[in-house]
Amino acid sequence: MKMDPRVFPIILIVLDLLAAASYGWDGDFRRVIYWISAAVLTATVTF
């Protein structure tokens, strides 16, 4: 059975968004922007 090559980038995107949520909870909006940007960049390159 062959695994989809997009599995690991999807996991990375989810982790990036969870990191953004965590920093948003603490009120550090500079890091929220950073992690959302990282997720968008990963999604752009992957898909």
* Number of structural domains found in the chain: 1
Neighbours of 38 (CB within 10 A): 17
Question: Residue 12: inside a domain, yes or no?
Answer: yes
Question: Residue 14: inside a domain, yes or no?
Answer: yes
Question: Residue 20: inside a domain, yes or no?
Answer: yes
Task: Report pLDDT for 30.
Answer: 98
Question: Residue 23: inside a domain, yes or no?
Answer: yes
Question: Residue 13: inside a domain, yes or no?
Answer: yes
Question: Residue 16: inside a domain, yes or no?
Answer: yes
Give, in order, the Cα–Cα distances in Å from 41 to each of 9, 20, 24, 31, 45.
11, 14, 19, 15, 6
Q: Which domain holds residue 32?
A: 7-46
Question: Residue 1: inside a domain, yes or no?
Answer: no
Arithmetic mean of pLDDT over the chain = 96
Question: Residue 41: inside a domain, yes or no?
Answer: yes
Task: Report pLDDT for 1.
Answer: 85
Low-confidence ranges of the chain (pLDDT < 50): none
What is the reported pTM? 0.90
Task: Report pLDDT for 37.
Answer: 98
